[in-house]
Structure 1
Amino acid sequence: MNHPHKTATSIYIHIPFCATKCYYCAFNTYTFHKEQAKAYLAALRTEIALYALETDPLQTIFIGGGTPSILSANALSNLFTDIHQHFQITPDAEITVECNPGTVDSEKLRVMRDNGVNRLSFGLQAMQDETLKRLGRIHSVAEFLESYHLAREHRFDNINIDLIFALPDQTMEAWHHTLNEVISLDPDHISAYNLVMEETTPFYEWWQAGELHLPSEDTEADMFQYTIETLTAHGYVHYEICNFARPNYYARHNLVYWNNQPCIGLGAGACGYINGVRYTNIRGIAPYIDKLAERNKPIADTERMTGHAEKAETLMLALRKREGISLDAYQDRFGEKIEAAFGTILKKWMDLGLLERTATHLRLTPRGLFLANEVFIELM
């Protein structure tokens, strides 16, 4: 087998702090406290150093959360100093920072620009203040617009906006308004996700108690279809199930995941994939800090991806892309045609109209996009 890019050329860094936790969020996040964040960043500095010799020159860096932009300009500057000190970075690397509206200012944006950040991702979610409050968001639409335009003034020319549809009590009209208002801003990339009820969230608890009213499955499908039709009509390329970009503005870091390539994950609860081993870091802030005080990697769990499991994961991740999975790339990686492992199930999906084969790829059909999770569950 030929495993491309055995050495990682990408890193993800998790900043697990938020002003408050949104009601739908199941990510590993904690309320921001200045002293705890200071201790966390010191531990993160140690973890960065522990991985310093385990990458080739980095082609993508993604700093996510949580809310990385909740850190002070000085803390952000120190973090970038640590990154540049321990990793080589290619001149054309994509360096992304997730930002929440209302937590960025000119000083932070200058620090990011001066340290090579060339892509920002704003978590907007909706364009109605009432909806934002119901989600537990801390910002208003006006604050988002202020943050977005400030980033443009600081010459950030690659900006993503995150949106969520099928929210409680959300109507088609409200979703139309959100999407078209965002399009009018001309962002370079738009991620549009349907709401998923996660068991550890307040939303899930309220939903189980009958206190949340979600759009019907038909309405959710209509919202998704409208998203695809509207964004593609405005020149965005639908390149992954939930992601749309101007030409040449695909999220290169996310493509590392969808192509099942190595990536080092740093920070509490971060996940990584190195040398065929998928790992997850300790989630808790205090035990994460304690482990690194011993100068040990804070890894909680590992799983070696081999055989059928690696093949299935590679297929599942690649099918998220609209182009699907390259038949030649699969054969180069595993030394066999894709039908050897998945012939029966692929035929089933094609017979059901969920999958189609081109001269070079296997990909989900337009109908398959709506049922992708069912396909993936059966595959795994």
Structure 2
Amino acid sequence: MTSAVYIHIPFCEKICHYCDFTKFFYDEKMADDYLIALEKEIATYIIEPQQPMRTIFVGGGTPTSLNMRQLKKLLSIIDFYFDISQVEEFTFEANPGDISEDKIKLLNSFGVNRISMGAQVFDDDLLEHLGRLHRIKDVYRNVNDLKKNGISNISIDLMYGLPNQTLAGFEQTINEALSFDLPHYSSYSLQIEPKTIFYQRYNKGKLHKPPEEVEAAMYELLIEKMEQKGKLQYEISNFAKLGFESKHNLTYWDNDYYYGFGAGAHGYLPNQRIINLRPFPAYVKQASETGRPVLHTEPIGRKEQIEEELFLGLRKRSGVKFNTFEEKFNVSLTSIYQQELAQLRQKKWIEQDQYGIRLTKQGQLFGNEVFAAFLLEQEPSLT
């Protein structure tokens, strides 16, 4: 049963230099057309209104770039198709500076109980270099407004490995972020993605990231600082007070099913991954006409499910449990990967006990190499 839904709102007031998500400059008419198409898509999959869901996540882009009328329309669509009273976690992404107190009150009135905010760094010069519109003071104002209006489950995103960022500078960012004592923090290293401004600069030799050893030191410092303040690492890039782990994101890492609605959104339903069209005109046209704005559907067989169980599950600090794996796939993890597990233990990239396997701290630095070890040549037989 699918108990999670992701909804993509692709509009932004400004396009950040590093972002490769599906996004468009905000335009009122475009946003109106988009919401009509989005509702048609949701209605095609959710036949009976008031579908119970455990988690809803509205991401972007910047969902709160919608004006008040459009934001109310979006929330009304969600409220009609999903039983909000059953939702444990209802998250909206927001950029500091674009979420007014009126918008906060509106979100709260429709049951939104969690905000994920892209602070990125506590350094105004670096924010300018990243192409961000907000400044440090906006984070303080928005966090205060959110708490004042009844939304205290707030997550802040941070970035490291940025051009001109030093280890001392990142430490200052961590310290300032932790001074809010929020229940959840995420932090990601900068990836130079195609079709971004940073990618163009990088190819011209005009953008330089910190050396790998400095980036690794930033990550190790992040883990240390977070744990000192009681924010426990529960996934490679995520830290939380006990009980405030992101329930929606754990759906992904637990390799469970979820709907994905909107331009460029991905959904995962039994035996298939659905990838939506990204271009605005193509998405709106196809969604409006058919309700299925699908770029392509990728079959997910047992072999792929097993591989993804390892790739995703090992992102969690709790790792992959032997009994859960065997219940899902009717075969033991150790019988499929005996040689690979031995090699990874020898490299000290994983640790193993009677319950399961998990990455070591060293293994977190070599995650891609670890994940590659679990690629299968063929589907394993049932035991």
Tell me the TM-score normalised to structure 1 length.
0.96
Which residue pairs with 2:113 in the alignment?
Answer: 118
Structure-1 separation of matches of 2:218 and 2:47: 46
Where 2:54 maps in the other structure, the secondary structure is strand
Q: CA deviation at 1:90?
A: 4.6
What is the letter of the counterpart of residue 321 of structure 2?
Answer: S
Q: Deviations over 1:248-286 (max 9, x none)?
A: 100000000000100000000000001121110111111
Which residue pairs with 2:178 in the alignment?
Answer: 183
What is the letter of the counterpart of residue 299 of structure 2?
Answer: R
Which residue pairs with 1:4 in the alignment?
Answer: none
Relative to 1, partners in 2 of residues 1:264 and 1:92: Cα closer, same or farther, differing over 3 Å? closer
Which residue pairs with 2:378 in the alignment?
Answer: none
Preserved contact between residue 9 and residue 56 of structure 1 (Cα < 8 Å): no
- Return 5+ residue gaps in structure 1 as ranges: 1-6
Q: Does 2:301 align with 1:306?
A: yes
Which residue pairs with 1:201 in the alignment?
Answer: 196
Q: Does 2:148 align with 1:150?
A: no
Superposed CA RMSD: 1.3
Which residue pairs with 1:3 in the alignment?
Answer: none
Aligned pair partner of 2:11 in 2, 12, 17: 17
Structure-1 separation of matches of 2:273 and 2:337: 23
- Off by >6 Å, runs of 4+ in structure 1: none
Give matches, 1:1-380, under 5 Å. Answer: 7-53=1-47, 57-380=52-375
Structure-2 separation of matches of 1:212 and 1:94: 39
Q: CA deviation at 1:92?
A: 4.8
Q: CA deviation at 1:377?
A: 3.6
Q: CA deviation at 1:166?
A: 0.9
Where 1:96 maps in the other structure, the secondary structure is strand
Where 2:159 maps in the other structure, the secondary structure is strand
Q: CA deviation at 1:108?
A: 0.5
Q: CA deviation at 1:374?
A: 2.1
Q: Deviations over 1:110-153 (max 9, x none)?
A: 11000000000000100010000000001111122211211111
Preserved contact between residue 165 and residue 194 of structure 1 (Cα < 8 Å): yes
Preserved contact between residue 16 and residue 66 of structure 1 (Cα < 8 Å): yes
Which residue pairs with 2:380 in the alignment?
Answer: none
What is the letter of the counterpart of residue 2 of structure 2?
Answer: A
Where 2:150 maps in the other structure, the secondary structure is coil
Tell me the TM-score normalised to structure 2 length.
0.95
Q: Deviations over 1:228-253 (max 9, x none)?
A: 01100110110000000011100000
Structure-2 separation of matches of 1:144 and 1:19: 17
Structure-2 separation of matches of 1:92 and 1:253: 11
Structure-2 separation of matches of 1:22 and 1:377: 31
What is the letter of the counterpart of residue 14 of structure 1?
Answer: H
What percent of counterpart residues are identical? 36
Structure-2 separation of matches of 1:245 and 1:348: 32
What is the letter of the counterpart of residue 12 of structure 1?
Answer: Y
Structure-2 separation of matches of 1:378 and 1:355: 12
